Structure 1
């Protein structure tokens, strides 16, 4: 799971003093920093190599999150099975693929290299309840902006799901709007040449992951039914300019996990950590069992999982409108000479070598260029088509 507190180092520094030792909670302080282990763990009913992330809280001046390396990570169930996790690319992955099963109780145990042992309370898998649909529709948001509203729908006739958490991954196709079949290169300090451009620099694909904690609770509804707006994209946002896809992930949580994530969301959504909107105290289900003074941030969640992916094109919703782009892509002209009046040869050579501009055309010594993002999508994205992509 993703607590999303990790992305904000300032918030983490304050969160470091929110948490108790194994059994108590600390009030919010603003002048204290403590390094605390952060454990992000969601076990699901997917048959896969499960993942657990173990990091540390960050100081104000830190620009990256420190990974807790060298830990021994084990998930045990009450049937006598043990699943060992090994460190790989900043996360801990189970050595074998496995899935959480109904009626089994699972416990997470993490032993850090300094000998601290962190253990969760036993958790059981929630009831499976797959996503019914993910639906895009033309809409106007509260700011009177027109765009595409994407909703996720779910329904449980037995009213046993109740607590939902969502994440999404959005992927989109990018076509360089000012791509040219010719590419300009510098051949010396004062000369250039035109060569055939690589066609693989014209079309790219990018993927972004959601960063918010997205929750739904149906307790106060007549039915256990979710119709949740999960993403709104303005019509002038270039990410939907050609073809767009979103993969929505649904986790059915228990009340304890939902409450923990809701508190984390409330903290993260405060305009300021010192604002009147303060959740005050927070408690997870992981504790340090061999040092009661050691604090830990985290929750071991065992949740039923489902996902659904959709695609749509810009023309599906805006058939008569021009495609939006990420840059104005205006012409940039250079007088390619050196030493004379208005000569810009040195600047042009520098921008070519620095991949800041791409070639559009020239008339004599007057060269027309554009920003590289307009003529070469690989300057900011990947030209590798995702394996799931459907044109």
Structure 2
């Protein structure tokens, strides 16, 4: 599970959502803070080592959730198979690769290091529905012109219906004030200009979606999805050169969809004084020892399909000016000398270079003036990766 949505709600005052069924309305009841386990668990029909995250709720004034260590985690199915998980770097990963298969019932089991035991309801794998295409189109939305990225899929059996999306976007970055040389401090009052040996001109940034993205076709005549999964302003620097997005489409059960829909609603609430602002609600996990004990989370079994696409800015906005760089690139001229004169800025130049705050663009040897820029303007590796991804297509 890549996205840790539950962290958005746990710093707030706890409220209890009790559901009598997936189609019932949630009944909200205000409560004071109580510590509870938070479980993030989705297994899919992909053959891989599946992952489960277990943490605790935390107060608003605390820094963040605490990973629950020393937990025994395993999944069983109705044919007697047992899939064990082991703790690795603040997450639980299955010891062996496995995948969810149709017509089999799965159940999550958790035993904490103090002996408390929890189980989920049994869940089955929904119908798989593959992404047919991802299409970028130029649109104007709420007065903003940009790129709308639409996901298309179709299930002729009409059994999928409920969908959740995640995406990973990767984009090419070109430092606008890059030069093939750089300045390095070689003495107390000495700077040398040397050739660059590392890639600093062309880099790649990557971001993951951080929202709960849902849609459904339950009210439609057919199970056909044409869904806007991402909108990017034409002034956003991430599409300046070349952009790629990998979209993952999860087919959900009605219960899972209802849970995530509620989670999305409450995590988007803007005020802690809102009557719909929670920090807790029940999913499909329960304590084996104490039916009144609270546990947050949902054990989801989901079929998933993924697809990647690329586009260049010039493909969609031909002959238009490129978006502005993500930061201001104002040239800063400083004279390299030392002494009482206010025009001598040698000490400042050395400090800027040592701290990697500014980088050299040009040195005027006649006046001994260094023309500098903020480091991201001349060295993209200062904030992104200078290694081309293996999947990248030029």
Conserved 8 A contact 1:332-1:370: yes
Q: How does 1:294-309 map to 2 (within 5 A)?
A: 294-309=293-308
Task: Tell whether the 8 Å contact from 1:20 to 1:295 is kept in structure 2 after alignment.
Answer: no
1:184 corresponds to 2:183: yes
Could you tell me which residue of structure 1 aligns to residue 196 of structure 2?
197
Q: 2:29 is matched with which residue?
A: 27
CA contact (8 A) 2:5 2:210 kept: no
> What is the CA deviation profile of residues 193-234 of structure 1, one whole-angstrom value per residue up to 9, with x for unaligned ones?
100013411111111110110111111112211111111111
Instruction: Count matched residues.
Output: 386
Aligned to 2:48: 48
Runs of 5+ consecutive residues of structure 2 not aligned to the other structure? none
For 1:137 and 1:26, locate their aligned partners in 2 and report how far apart those are by CA, in whole Å. 41
Q: CA RMSD in A?
A: 2.2
The Cα offsets for residues 13-37 of structure 1, whole Å up to 9 and x where unpaired, read as 326443679x9987134xx322211
CA deviations over 1:12-70 (Å, ceiling 9, x no partner): 1326443679x9987134xx322211101111111111111111112222223311111
* TM-score under structure 1 length normalisation: 0.93
For residue 368 of structure 1, the aligned residue among 364, 368, 371 is 371
Moved more, 278-287 or 368-377: 278-287
- In the other structure, the counterpart of 2:355 is 354
Residue of 368, 377, 388 corresponding to 1:385: 388
Matches of 2:257 and 2:326, distance apart in 1: 37
Unmatched runs of 5 consecutive residues or more in structure 1: none
5 Å-filtered alignment, 1:128-143, equals: 128-142=128-142
| Cα distance in 2 for residues equivalent to 1:355 and 1:39 | 41
Partner of 1:14: 12
**Structure 2 counterparts to residues 1-391 of structure 1, below 5 A:** 1=1, 4-8=4-8, 11-14=9-12, 16-18=14-16, 27-29=29-31, 32-142=32-142, 144-277=143-276, 282-324=281-323, 325-338=325-338, 339-363=340-364, 364-391=367-394
Describe the superposition over 1:102-154 as per-residue Cα deviations: whole angstroms up to 9, x where unpaired. Answer: 11000000111121111000000001111121111111111x11111101112
Is the CA contact (8 Å cut-off) linking 1:3 and 1:261 kept in structure 2? no
* Deviations 1:85-108 (CA, angstroms, capped at 9, x unpaired): 111122111111111011100000
SS in 2 for 1:13: coil
* SS of residue in 1 equivalent to 2:260: helix
Q: What do the CA deviations read for 1:232-252 (whole angstroms, capped 9, x no partner)?
A: 111111111111110100111
Query: Which stretch has the larger CA shift, 184-193 or 57-66?
Result: 57-66
- How has the CA–CA distance of structure 1 residues 178 and 342 changed in structure 2, closer, same or farther, with 3 Å as cutoff? same
C-alpha contact 1:20 1:296 (8 A) present in aligned 2: no
